[in-house]
Structure 1
Amino acid sequence: MANTPIDSDAIRALAELLDETGLTEIEYDSGALRIRIAKGGAMTGVTYASAPAAIAAAAPAAVADPADHPGAIKAPMVGVVYHSSEPGAAAFVQVGDQVAQGQTLVLIEAMKTFNPVRAPRAGTVAAILVDDATPVEFGEPLIILE
């Protein structure tokens, strides 16, 4: 693996494709070469292997997916998420806050319209999974409500 050159042109092309499409993660796998690029401080990995089993063995251990959490509040649309109604204003919710059913948790701006994401039930905000003013995709977990 150490003697195999890294295809920097392929990595650059995938990174450009990531920016052009607005995606947060992209992966290319040709069997012998696997390249994964993710935005947001996630690790970028290149794996060379002679068999799919070797690729699976080289992959990191699975991390619990927040989208699978029973209290995950997911983005109902593609857009930009905002934690408050205007810049400088207090956030709608903080970790540890008690919320009532129907209470606004965040706003998602889509096509110049601000759409509230409301709590489907009462509970406690256990985690806020997205940063303010960041793009989100449909179905992306935003908040964990317990």
Structure 2
Amino acid sequence: MNLNDIKDLMAQFDQSSLREFSYKNGVDELQFSKNEAQLFSEPSPVVAAPSAVAVPATSPVTANQEAVVEDAPSTSAQASAAEGEVVESPLVGVVYLAAGPDKPNFVSVGDSVKKGQTLVIIEAMKVMNEIPAPKDGVVTEILVSNEEMVEFGKGLVRIK
């Protein structure tokens, strides 16, 4: 199953009234849940889709909340246009700024990067996915912290 298929499944799940969804074949296994996360004494081997938990499909929206939601994208769009291109997360998972706890960060603010150079790693379903730089440039901002849970489309790094 490729990344686009997974993205499509996530989008369809978010828009559906389903509370849980699982898919399994010989190689791939996916599980999505809109239920609240439960705390276990041992780490769970399944990663739930936090975007579905964070934004319930049935949450009421007031007029004040709509105004805030409409203002936020225009402000961030202006900032991103002024300071460079934002590299967005292509999947849901935990972001790591370095290859290990005792290793230096892949990039820092002010670093020059080449197209294809690893900016961060996102762990999704126990798989480490390297996120490459889409172009040559200079890192102007790091928008996430180490071990932060990120959603699809969240800004990771800004490159000018």
Tell me whether the two structures share a fold, i.e. TM-score over 0.5. Answer: yes
Describe how 1:117-128 pairs up with structure 2 within 5 A.
Answer: 117-128=131-142
How many residues are treated as equivalent by the alignment? 108
- Counterpart amino acid of residue 29 in structure 1: P
- Counterpart amino acid of residue 130 in structure 2: P
Q: Which residue of 1 aligns with 2:80?
A: 69
> How far did 1:67 drift?
9.8
2:50 pairs with one of 22, 32, 38: 22
> How far did 1:58 drift?
7.8
Distance 1:19 1:121, change over 3 A: same
Q: Give yes or no for contact 1:66–1:141 (8 Å, CA) kept in 2.
A: no
Q: CA deviation digits over 1:11-52, x for unaligned, max 9? A: xxxxxx89636348548436xxx4xxxxxxxxxxxxxxxxx4
Distance 1:136 1:66, change over 3 A: farther
Q: Give yes or no for contact 1:66–1:72 (8 Å, CA) kept in 2.
A: no
Q: Give yes or no for contact 2:50–2:92 (8 Å, CA) kept in 1.
A: no
> In 2, Cα distance between the equivalents of 1:120 and 1:112?
24
Unaligned runs of 5+ residues in structure 1 are: 1-16, 35-51
Unaligned runs of 5+ residues in structure 2 are: 1-33, 38-48
> How far did 1:88 drift?
2.1
> How far did 1:89 drift?
1.1
Decide which structure has the larger Cα Rg and report it: 1
**Identical pairs, percent:** 34
> How far did 1:116 drift?
0.5
> In 2, Cα distance between the equivalents of 1:108 and 1:59?
29
- Counterpart amino acid of residue 65 in structure 1: S
Q: CA deviation digits over 1:100-140, x for unaligned, max 9? A: 11110000111111111000110010111111001111111
Specify which structure has the higher proportion of helix. 2
Q: Which residue of 2 aligns with 1:141?
A: 155
Q: Give yes or no for contact 1:72–1:142 (8 Å, CA) kept in 2.
A: yes
Q: Which residue of 2 aligns with 1:7?
A: none
Query: What SS class does the counterpart of residue 62 from structure 1 fall into?
Result: helix
TM-score using structure 2 length: 0.56
Q: Give yes or no for contact 2:117–2:133 (8 Å, CA) kept in 1.
A: yes
Q: CA deviation digits over 1:46-75, x for unaligned, max 9? A: xxxxxx4xx379859934226983501001
Describe how 1:11-90 pairs up with structure 2 within 5 A.
Answer: 20=37, 22-23=50-51, 26=55, 28-29=59-60, 34=62, 52=63, 55=64, 59=68, 62-63=71-72, 64-65=75-76, 69=80, 71-90=85-104
> In 1, Cα distance between the equivalents of 2:103 and 2:110?
19
Specify which structure has the higher proportion of strand. 1
Say whether residues 1:105 and 2:136 are aligned partners.
no
- Counterpart amino acid of residue 154 in structure 2: E
